[in-house]
Amino acid sequence: MKLEQVNKTFGSHQVLKNISLDFPRGKVTVLVGPSGSGKSTILRSLNILEKPETGTYDFDDLQIDFSKEISKNDLFYIRQKTGMVFQSYNLFPHFTVLENIIEGPIQVLKKKRPFAIKQAKELLIKVGLSDKANAYPEQLSGGQAQRVAIARSLAMNPEYILLDEPTSALDPELELEVLKVLLQIAKEQQSMVIVTHNLAFAKRVADKIIFVEEGNIIYDGSVENFFDPDTRNARISQFISSMTFEN
Amino acid sequence: MWNTISTSLPQILEAGFKYTIPLALISFFIGLALALVTALIRLSATKGINIVIKLFFRFYVWLFRSTPLLVQLFIVYFGLPYLKIKGLTPEGIKLDPFMAGVLTFSLNTGAYASETIRAAIESVPSGQWEAAASIGMTRTQTLKRIILPQALRVSVPPLANSFISLVKDTSLAASITIVEMFEVSQQIAAENYEPLLMYSLVAVVYAIFCTILSWLQGKLEKKLNASHVKRGSESR
């Protein structure tokens, strides 16, 4: 999965400036950067919730040219191959936890209901919520809601899971329960792209780090080099020290 | 007095069940369907031929919200027979009173309710559209499965208001010769010279009908709120 020479503007503000990135399969890519840097826009472009003005998007053998109209088939293909997890969970409030998870498999993938339910129950065990199948989203804590959202995206069997600041709305102890689930999924070689402000988590989970600032890619490489005080550039050092207690 | 009531009440109730209730029910459901179509068209993308269709529906909503219901009834029932267009309607459009009533009340309800439904759809957070899109649902699937069920929940109180108003507004149908409850009470009052008693009696019957509707509204809201049960001791 890769983006090439992508540009995106909102009004007169250019949020992505000719960026090119690739996201290796079976690995965890973490996007970091200050607020408003464009990292969420990159993530949303991968699910085509945002459509950049120019550039290309390659997924396996499919190439999408952002400057042209995207066909329904291509859009459907990309949406199916990439699952999205939002900062504000966006669970369907009128459905139970189980119904939230089986909705996509039944409506979109046309799976049989018993199969979808069986799969959903396995996913709920995986995210540690097997006792909440019949609860409604309003009855869940934020951490539980986000774990359901993760299960919902996994139920579509996507090749990549895209997570947009999945824990920034959560209290620290609830954040930890979500991060643990993500670490476990990462261990299973699930391809992921995560936008996060939590550098400790990034260090732990990432195979690759991308640092974005004002729509430019400042860093794109290994975790070790990103955090190594000897090799990283001054701007990254400044960013890391503003986010942690490290001097 | 009780004697007068016991002879006139059955006649009023008969007119209620024969005309008032069917007129209100049929008009409301046609109006609701019309309102949904209108709301969806008004929320659709503004491009191509759609612009003309959207303008037409905007005009329709404007027209019916900006003119009195009584005038609308008169135009449809007394006016349309004179709409003689060569080759199209050479004899004018003659509707029987009940049809004219249903047509006018449906169009009127449709115009008001379309605004309610439009606002209700817009009140569903954009994150719901995004979540549905991100799992590959089409626009139609998203509307049907995700957006409209949530919009319905918030639109029940204002739609119930419209329905209750409509039940009372059907009394205007008396003026286009429909023998509904109010017309019957007028006829009886003209015979027994008891206008205060007759009009009070019909008012009570309207109030009872509307009270039953309010009660049904409460039941429906409770049912639709099942997913919004109060949270227990768990914190968010």
Averaged pLDDT, A230-238: 84
> What is the model's pLDDT at position B229?
57
Using the predicted structure, report yes or no on whether residue A106 has a pLDDT greater than 70. yes
Averaged pLDDT, A13-24: 94
Query: What's the sign of the alpha-carbon dihedral A60, A76, B119, A10?
Result: positive
Domains of chain B by start residue, with CATH: 2-226 (1.10.3720.10)
Interface test with B, best of A90, A134, A175 (most B CBs within 10 A): A90
Residue among B127, B136, B149 whose CB faces A79 most closely: B136
pLDDT in tens, A39-91: 999 999 999 999 999 999 999 999 999 999 999 999 999 999 999 999 999 99
> What is the model's pLDDT at position B90?
87
Instruction: For residue A152, list chain B residues with Cβ-Cβ distance below 8 A.
Output: 135
User: What percent of chain B has a predicted confidence (pLDDT) above 70?
Assistant: 96
Residue among B125, B127, B137 whose CB faces A108 most closely: B137
Residue among A88, A108, A140 whose CB faces B135 most closely: A108
Dihedral of the alpha carbons of A52, A57, A63, A65, in degrees to the nearest 10: 20
- Calculate the average pLDDT of chain A: 93
Q: Residue A91 and residue B229: Cβ atoms within 8 Å?
A: no
> What is the model's pLDDT at position B93?
92
Instruction: For residue B141, list chain A residues with Cβ-Cβ distance below 8 A.
Output: 107-108
Å from A47 to nearest chain B CA?
Answer: 7
**Is A10 an interface residue toward B (CB < 8 Å)?**
no
> What is the model's pLDDT at position A246?
59
Averaged pLDDT, A109-120: 96
Q: Which residues of chain B have pLDDT under 70?
A: 227-236
Domains of chain A by start residue, with CATH: 2-243 (3.40.50.300)
Instruction: For residue B150, list chain A residues with Cβ-Cβ distance below 8 A.
Output: 93-94
In chain A, where does DSSP find H-type helix?
39-46, 72-81, 97-107, 113-126, 142-154, 172-187, 199-205, 223-227, 234-243
**Is A141 an interface residue toward B (CB < 8 Å)?**
yes
Å from B152 to nearest chain A CA?
Answer: 11
> What is the model's pLDDT at position A228?
87
Averaged pLDDT, A166-171: 90
| Chain B contacts to A (CB-CB under 8 A) | 125, 127-128, 130-137, 141, 145-146, 149-150, 153, 227-229, 231-232, 234-236
The C-alpha atoms of residue A94 and residue A40 are separated, in whole angstroms, by 27
> What is the model's pLDDT at position B87?
85
> What is the model's pLDDT at position A222?
92
> What is the model's pLDDT at position B231?
45
